[in-house]
A and B are shown apart, each in its own frame.
Chain A
Amino acid sequence: MINAMIKWMQRYEGWVGAGGALCLLAGLYLSLVASPPDYYQGEVVRIMYIHVPLVQTAMLAYSVLFAGSLWYLWKRDPIVDNLCHAAAGISAFLTAAGLITGSIWAKPTWNTWWTWDARLVSFAVMFLILVGYLMLRTFVDDPEREARYAAVLAIVGFVDLPIVHFSVEWWRTLHQPLSISMRGVALSGEMLRPLIVMSIGFSALFVYLLMVRTQMLYLTRLLHAKKGRLLSHAHLSDLDT
């Protein structure tokens, strides 16, 4: 039997994917063609429209991993474990992309690819936590123990997220402070529009990726389990004969 959550994903993934693709295409047009260059940074400011949504979505993915891990430890539902595993893989991917695009943006603006800045270091730590999470999932043989240990690691690692977010407020950093905060929005409307459209597009893309990857992990587990069961049946029949 296919899990009810997987059936729900199959039904709605097309709509989410199409919405995300349309938002991203509109966002790409706005950010690469329609938006103006910055007076101080020039054309390089266009990197913001891909770097910021990537980082935001990576943090959203980690938040989903955190919530899913709490849920798993409470209910011990294997499909939630698949969801967490999927969110971790996507978050690691987006974090790596966020680090690389940030580095590319840093070179023309700060004249360096990397600096030991609080925001950059805390974000790199988040990447290492996710890599550790994914490695842990390959090292433990027992699936139940693997899921439990991974959930605990994800919950402990969540402490890094507020540090990433508030690092530019708590310490003097080379990284610019928050452009959108309780104090207001420090961006012009022409720049805010592509940023919002790209952020919505990446968030929808993340939900779509999560749906696809969760299905992939669930189906792989289902196939292994059923094949194993069939093999053991065949083995028992051989023994009987």
Chain B
Amino acid sequence: MSRLYLRWGLLISAVGVIAWLAAGYYTRHLVSVTPEAVVNGQLTGDLVRVQGMVEAGTLAGDVESGRVRFMLGGEDEAIPVRYDGPPPENLRELKTLVAIGRWEAADRVFLAHDLALVSNYGFVMGAYAIGLIPLGLFLFAMERRVGLLYREIKQSKLYEPEADQDVDAR
């Protein structure tokens, strides 16, 4: 049985490493802040991801050329965004998205060079957790049961030839 626990320990460690790498990827590439946090100066690093909704009637400029301006709204605050980058395919009014760029505190404008969709990482993690954790528990319980059954059979000496077979052999 100790081999079973060792094997599962190694497997859980490997899954832990992948979870750690995924969490690192999430922190580096997907964590976003609200427009309120930008206005209040609660920013870390130069490159900022701000999640909010493109306010109605504020989208101006030429979307085809990739040079547009709009207001990105949060719960209480909205920040002006000046976007200059690849022509955005998902940009429209009332769309919730993530603007990637830097905050110019002096001009009070957010200079975005890229736009991304809302990450919804909670759904992704939920699906992987529900898909894998019960499966792991199911497999572990079965492996343990098989180990216990083999032990029980060996201890009860049920491997020994039965009386009927001995009689037949004689």
Q: How far is it, in angstroms, between the C-alpha of A212 and the C-alpha of B140 when the chains are bound?
A: 10
Instruction: Report, as a range, how many residues of chain A touch the other chain.
Output: 35 or more
> Would you call B14 an interface residue if the criterion is a C-beta within 8 Å of the partner chain's C-beta atoms?
yes
Q: Which of B89, B120, B127, B128 has the most CB of A within 10 A?
A: B127
B126-165 Cβ-contact flags toward A at 8 Å (1 or 0): 1110111011001100110110011011001010001100
**A32, B131: Cβ atoms closer than 8 Å:** no
**A25, B18: Cβ atoms closer than 8 Å:** yes
Among B38-46, B61-69, B111-119, the stretch in contact with A: B111-119
Among A68-76, A98-106, A119-127, A146-154, the stretch in contact with B: A98-106
B15 partner, pick from A28, A51, A94, A229, beta carbons under 8 A? A28
Interface of A is mostly: helix
Q: Which of B25, B134, B135 has the most CB of A within 10 A?
A: B135
Q: In chain B, residues 90-138, which have Cβ atoms closer than 8 Å to a Cβ of chain A?
A: 90, 116-121, 123-124, 126-128, 130-132, 134-135, 138
The residues of B that contact A101 with a CB separation of less than 8 Å are 127, 130-131
B146 partner, pick from A29, A104, A212, beta carbons under 8 A? A212
**A216, B142: Cβ atoms closer than 8 Å:** yes
**A50, B142: Cβ atoms closer than 8 Å:** no
Give the total of B residues in contact with A, Cβ under 8 Å: 40
The residues of A that contact B60 with a CB separation of less than 8 Å are none
Task: Known contacts A50-B127, A104-B126; decide if A222 and B146 are in contact (CB<8 Å).
Answer: no
> Would you call B21 an interface residue if the criterion is a C-beta within 8 Å of the partner chain's C-beta atoms?
yes
Residues in B lying within 8 Å of A, measured CB to CB: 11, 14-15, 18, 21-22, 25, 30, 89-90, 116-121, 123-124, 126-128, 130-132, 134-135, 138-139, 142-143, 145-146, 149-150, 152-153, 156, 158, 162-163
Residues in A lying within 8 Å of B, measured CB to CB: 21, 25, 28-29, 32-33, 37, 39-44, 46-47, 50-51, 54, 93-94, 97, 100-101, 104-105, 107-108, 205, 208-209, 212-213, 215-216, 219-220, 222-223, 226-227, 229-230, 233
A-B contact pairs, 6 of them (CB 8 A): A42-B116, A43-B30, A43-B119, A47-B127, A51-B127, A219-B149
